[in-house]
Structure 1
Amino acid sequence: MFCRQPTIMSDKPNLEEVTSFDKSKLKKTETQEKNPLPSKETIEQEKQAGSS
């Protein structure tokens, strides 16, 4: 049986990488909804079609 040493973490994380991050290097992307929710009208039409 072997024993692993527990990973020691400080109380406060190192935020150096986050604070020095350059946002200008990011590319601009357009977000597209892959599975948009149906409108209220579509839901009502399906309810009526299902109850007939």
Structure 2
Amino acid sequence: MSDKPDMAEIEKFDQLKLKKAETQEKKSSALKETIEQEKQTGES
């Protein structure tokens, strides 16, 4: 088995068959101060 991809398979790949995915960023509700406090608590 070769380490190189089969270029014939790549060339005939149909991008229209892919599903559209919506990406959303997750927003963290933790404040910087809260994170620092948790770090200090974990070190004790």
TM-score bracket for the superposition, by shorter chain length: 0.3 to 0.5
More helix per residue: 1 or 2?
2
- Give the TM-score taking structure 2 as reference length: 0.42
Q: Report the structure number with the largest CA radius of gyration.
A: 1
